[in-house]
């Protein structure tokens, strides 16, 4: 995942959509205002092959770019 254009700092958390365990305790990527940041992660998908992204910011906006590089069966 890559993010850019953040107007304030925050973090992103990724988890399988509909997951019973809910929000993960650790963020996948942290960012500050004006930063462009990237990170790699191996993520599980939900039953419908979908993903939930949670952006924790007090206010403001950020642009998220997700690249899929492969999958496991």
Residue 45 confidence (pLDDT) above 80? yes
Give the model confidence (pLDDT) of 8-42 as tens digits: 999 999 999 988 777 888 999 999 999 999 999 88
pLDDT at residue 66 in the model = 92
Residues found in the chain: 73
pLDDT at residue 30 in the model = 95
Mean pLDDT of the chain: 91
CA 73, 66, 24, 52 torsion-angle sign: negative
Q: How far apart are CA 33 and CA 18, in angstroms?
A: 30
pTM: 0.83
Cβ neighbours of residue 9 under 8 Å, at least 6 residues apart? 30, 31, 32, 33, 57
């Amino acid at each position: 995942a890559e993010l850019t254009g953040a107007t304030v700092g925050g973090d992103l958390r990724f988890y399988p959509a509909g997951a019973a365990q809910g929000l993960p305790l650790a963020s996948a990527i942290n960012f500050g205002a004006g930063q462009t940041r990237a990170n790699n992660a191996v993520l599980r998908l939900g039953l419908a092959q979908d993903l939930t992204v949670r952006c924790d910011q007090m206010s403001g906006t950020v642009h998220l770019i997700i690249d899929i590089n492969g999958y496991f069966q």
